[in-house]
Amino acid sequence: MEVLEALDTWQAYSHPELSECKPEELFSTGFAAQYRFLHKDIWERIVRLNGTILSLETLREFPFHLVYAPGNMEFWRLVFSNFYEVTCLNLHGLSGDAGNDVHSIPSFKKTIVSAQWIDPRAKELLLETLKERRFDSDVRAVAGRVTALRNNRIAHRLIDKENGGFKGDKVGVTLKELRALFNAVHAQFGAVSFGSAYVTLAGDMMPGRVQGKPARSCLDGVLDSVLRGSGIVNQPERHGQWWSDLRKCRSPEELRVMNELRQRVGLPEA
C-alpha cells in the first residue's frame, strides 16, 4: 500500500516541461539516439534494482520466525543475503562507480549536460532539477558505506594487514538505508528522463488494484503458500476435534497472530 501511494518510488520523471519533450526536441539527432541507448540501459538497471529492494522489503515483513525452526529456512536466508549483496553492487554501479568508461548516473548526467542543446532554457531547467535532487549528507554517507561494502566484502575480500582481520568488517547498511539511497538515485534518474514518466517496477510488481484491493505479486503468492502449509496457520485443521480444548491453552496474542495469518490466506477465524 505504501508503494502504491508513493508514486515517486516507482515512477521516474523530470521537470514537467522536460517530461513533455522528446530527446529529438532537445538534442541533435545523433546525440538523441545515443541518449536513448544510454538511458535505456540505466532504466533497465533501475527497474531490476527497485524490484529487488521491494522483494527484500516483502521478505523482511514476512513472519519466517513463526513458520520455520531456526535452522530450517536456509533457502530464504540465501535469498535475502544474495538479494542484499546484489542491491549493494547495483547501487554502487549506478551511483558510486569510478573510471573513464563507467556508465553511471553521474557520468550520464555529465554527458547530457555537456551535449549540444537546441534550447538553452531547457538545459537550465535540467540544471535546476538536478540541483534540487542532489544527495543530502545522509544519503552521501550511505553511498559511501555501500561502496565500502562493495569494495571490501562483496566484490573483493580484503585483508587488513594491521590487525589481521578483514577490511570493512564493521561497515553495515540497513535495508531502510538502501531504500533511501535508491530513492535518491531514482530521483536523479528521473531528472535526466525526457519525453515521459518512466515506470520502474515491472510486471506483477507494478502497484495496482484488483476489485478495490492492492494487486498481489507472484512473491505474495509463494509466501501465502508457505503460510498455508505451516503449522501455526493450520492448527485448527490439524488438531480437529481437540482444537477447542487446545485453543484454551493459547494466549490471546498467539490467537491474534494466528488469525491474522489465516485471514491473509483466506481461512476463517478459529
Q: What is the pLDDT of residues 29-65, one digit of tens each?
A: 889 999 999 999 999 999 999 999 999 999 999 999 9
Q: Which of 32-36, 74-78, 192-196, 203-207 bottoms out in mean pLDDT, i.e. has the lowest? A: 203-207
- 79-97 residue pLDDT tens: 999 999 999 999 999 999 9
Model confidence band, residue 163 (pLDDT cutoffs 50, 70, 90): confident
Whole-number average pLDDT of the chain: 93
pLDDT of residue 160: 87
pTM score: 0.92
Q: Are 130 and 191 in contact (CB under 8 A)?
A: yes
Cβ density class 20-31: b for 16+ within 10 Å, e for less: ebebbebbeeeb
B/e letters for 211-238, b = 16+ CB within 10 Å, e = fewer, are eeeeeebebbeebbebbeebeebbbbee
- Please give the DSSP secondary-structure letter assigned to residue 201: S
Mean pLDDT, rounded, for 7-12: 91
- Residue 219, amino acid: L
